Amino acid sequence: MQTLQTTSLRLLDNQLYILDQQALPQEKRWLPASSVEALVGHIHALRVRGAPLIGLSASLLLALLAEQGQSREQLTAALETLRAARPTAVNLMNNLDRMKLALAQNDYVTALAAEALGLIEEDRQLCASIADAGSVLVTPGSRLLTHCNTGGLATAGVGTALGVITLAHQQGKVANVWVDETRPLLQGGRLTAWELGELGVPYQLITDSMAASLMAKGEVDAVWVGADRIAANGDVANKIGTYSLAVLAKFHGIPFYVAAPQTTLDPHCPNGEAIPIEQRAGAEVTGVAGSFGAVQWAPDNAQVYNPAFDVTPAALISGWVLDSGVVTPEQVAAGAFRRA
- 192-210 per-position pLDDT tens digit: 999 999 999 999 999 999 9
Together in a domain, 213 and 194 = yes
3-state DSSP call for residue 109?
helix
How many angstroms separate the CA atoms of 51 and 141, rounded? 30
Together in a domain, 208 and 276 = yes
Together in a domain, 210 and 324 = yes
**pLDDT for position 288:** 84
User: What are residue 228's phi and psi, to 5 degrees?
Assistant: -100, -25
2 is in an annotated binding site: no
End residue of a domain, out of 101, 128, 155: 128
| Domain presence at residue 97 | yes
**pLDDT for position 260:** 96
Together in a domain, 107 and 187 = no
End residue of a domain, out of 128, 160, 177: 128
| Domain presence at residue 339 | no
How many angstroms separate the CA atoms of 147 and 66, rounded? 37
Using 50, 70 and 90 to split pLDDT, how confident is the model at 292?
confident
86 is in an annotated binding site: yes
**pLDDT for position 9:** 96
This prediction has a pTM of 0.92
Together in a domain, 238 and 301 = yes
CATH number at residue 49: 1.20.120.420
- Note down the domain range covering 188: 134-333
Cα(first)–Cα(last) distance of the chain, in Å? 32
Kindly state the average pLDDT of the residues 161-180: 98
How many angstroms separate the CA atoms of 318 and 234, rounded? 11
238 is in an annotated binding site: yes
Together in a domain, 194 and 268 = yes
End residue of a domain, out of 91, 108, 128: 128
Dihedral of CA 311/314/319/324: which sign? Answer: positive
**pLDDT for position 340:** 63
50 is in an annotated binding site: yes
* 110-143 residue pLDDT tens: 999 999 999 999 999 999 999 999 999 999 999 9
Per the DSSP assignment, residues forming a β-bridge with 12 are 15
Catalytic residue, chosen from 228, 235, 266, 310, is: 228
Together in a domain, 178 and 50 = no
Using 50, 70 and 90 to split pLDDT, how confident is the model at 1?
confident
Residues 6+ apart with CB under 8 A from 308: 88, 239, 240, 277, 278, 279, 280
Q: Mean pLDDT score of the chain, rounded to an integer?
A: 95
Number of domains observed in the structure of the chain: 2
- 339 vs 55: which has the higher pLDDT: 55
143 is in an annotated binding site: no
Active site residue 228: yes
